Amino acid sequence: MHSKEDLRYEDCEETARWLLDRIQSPPDIAIICGSGLGLLAETLSDPKTFDYTQIPHFPASTVAGHSGQLVFGTLQGKSCVCMKGRFHVYEGYPLWKVTFPIRVFKLLGVKLLMVTNAAGSLCNTYRPGDLMIIRDHINMPGLAALSPLRGPNDERFGPRFPSLWDTYDHQLRTTALEIASKIGQADLIHEGVYCMVGGPNFESVAEARFLQKLGADAVGMSTAPEVVVAKHCGMRVFGLSLITNRVAQAYERQETVNHSSVLEVGKQRSQLLQAIITDLVRSVQFENHQEPAA
């Protein structure tokens, strides 16, 4: 029995059917563009754009730097969909709603999810403007039972107890490092652990020290729920964080951070991020094309 505040497979199906009726070909790849990183969507060929407010059952994005649009098109010969803006728990959405698009992508036939985000550095060797390929994540809300998989499990999406081993695809991570080296940007690229916190406030000094001791290299307010649902749905995942600031870990040293500075760094590094994602999309091979489930 579902309340209107529960995830319903039928709602995901209705949204997928609505989109399939309006696009030329189902996407194989979904790309989520984080804060200030939406320019990637503008590189798609033959784009078809929908405002989130047009799409049945879709939430609305309320954060500056998130346009709130779904863009379908072709990138490097691959059928793709880009989310220009994501949804966050701090906007007031339950986690099943934050991750609603991922389940819709599953029904559209998406096989690979690429996530990008803006993150603060907890690692002393990371500088603002660097990129971090996500090797793994620490999902702080998830450790406190705030999971997008909480509640009744629908086997049509995935198993009750999914494994998160190799969630961030090893082959894609290796290829991304090779791409960065090929274009002469290896010194700006790292591989590390992303930690998700709830936000919207930035971390206190004590919290930053705690997260660093846990093994986190960068921290942000998104990504982990989307990735957990993508893994649950059987998708491959690649994640990339743009380091926009250093997170203060000493009371004697002030590290200023605000959302506008995050967006500014995003603008400065958008071309590099775009180059890596574009080349990575070109390298992806799909063994066979399956029709979407919806």
Strand partners, 120: 219, 245
Q: Which residue has the higher pLDDT, 287 or 116?
A: 116
- Known active-site residue 88: yes
Q: Is 226 a residue whose pLDDT tops 90?
A: yes
d(CA 235, CA 78): 16
Read off the DSSP letter of residue 76. T
Give the pLDDT band (50/70/90) at residue 2: very low
Instruction: Give bridge partners of residue 131 from the DSSP assignment.
Output: 189, 242
Say which DSSP state 186 is in: G
Catalytically annotated residue among 16, 41, 83, 88: 88
| Short-list 96, 95, 40, 89, CA closest to 69 | 40
Q: Identify the top-confidence range among 62-71, 174-183, 254-263, 284-293.
A: 174-183
Q: Tens digit of pLDDT for each residue in 8-46?
A: 999 999 999 999 999 999 999 999 998 667 778 888 999
Catalytic residue selected from 61, 117, 245, 270: 245
- Say which of 132, 221, 235, 248 is annotated catalytic: 221
Task: Give residue 225's pLDDT.
Answer: 98
Distance from the first to the final alpha carbon of the chain: 22
**Is residue 4 pLDDT above 60, yes or no?**
no
Q: What is the largest distance, in Å, between two alpha-carbon atoms of the chain?
A: 58
Q: At what angle do helices 170-182 and 259-283 cross, to 10 degrees?
A: 100
Question: pTM to 2 decimals?
Answer: 0.92
Residue of 13, 14, 42, 91 marked active site: 91
**Continuous H helices in the chain:** 9-20, 95-98, 100-108, 140-143, 170-182, 205-214, 224-232, 259-283
Q: Rounded CA gap, 86 and 117, in Å? A: 10
Q: Which is catalytic among the residues 16, 41, 83, 118? A: 118
pLDDT in tens, 44-101: 999 999 999 999 999 988 776 557 999 999 999 999 999 998 999 999 999 999 999 9
pLDDT at residue 65, rounded to an integer: 57
Residue 1 confidence (pLDDT): 33
Instruction: Give the tens place of pLDDT for each residue, 151-169.
Output: 999 999 999 999 999 999 9
> Closest Cα partner for 167 from 214, 213, 260, 234?
234
Q: pLDDT at position 60, please?
A: 86
* Angle ∠(75,81,86) on CA atoms, nearest 5: 130
Q: What is the pLDDT of residues 187-216, one digit of tens each?
A: 999 999 999 999 999 999 999 999 999 999
For the record, the structure tokens of 102 come out as 């991922």
- Residue 66: the pLDDT is 58
User: Is 187 in contact with 131 (CB distance < 8 Å)?
Assistant: no
Q: Is 170 a catalytic residue?
A: no
Q: Is 2 a catalytic residue?
A: no
Q: Which domains does the chain have, with CATH numbers?
A: 9-283 (3.40.50.1580)
pLDDT at 256 over 80: no
The span from the CA of 72 to the CA of 48, in Å, is 5
State pLDDT tens for residues 104-144: 999 999 999 999 999 999 999 999 999 999 999 999 999 99
Mean pLDDT score, 266-289: 85
Q: Which residue has the higher pLDDT, 234 or 261?
A: 234
pLDDT band at 252 (very low <50, low <70, confident <90, very high): confident
Burial of 43 (0-12, 13-18, 19+ CB in 10 A): middle
Active site residue 35: yes
Whether 191 is catalytic? no
Task: State the catalytic residue, choosing from 60, 90, 93, 261.
Answer: 90
In the residue annotation, 245 being an active-site residue is answered as yes
Q: How many whole angstroms from its chain centre is CA 180? A: 20
- Res 215: pLDDT: 98
Looking only at the bridges linking them, the beta strands covering 131-139 and 189-196 are parallel
Return the pLDDT at 269: 81
Query: Is 118 annotated in the active site?
Result: yes
User: Can you tell me the mean pLDDT for 251-262?
Assistant: 71
Amino acid 3: pLDDT: 43
CA 155 to chain centre: 23
Q: Indicate which residue of 67, 93, 153, 259 is catalytic.
A: 259
* Given 41, 66, 132, 224, the catalytic residue: 66
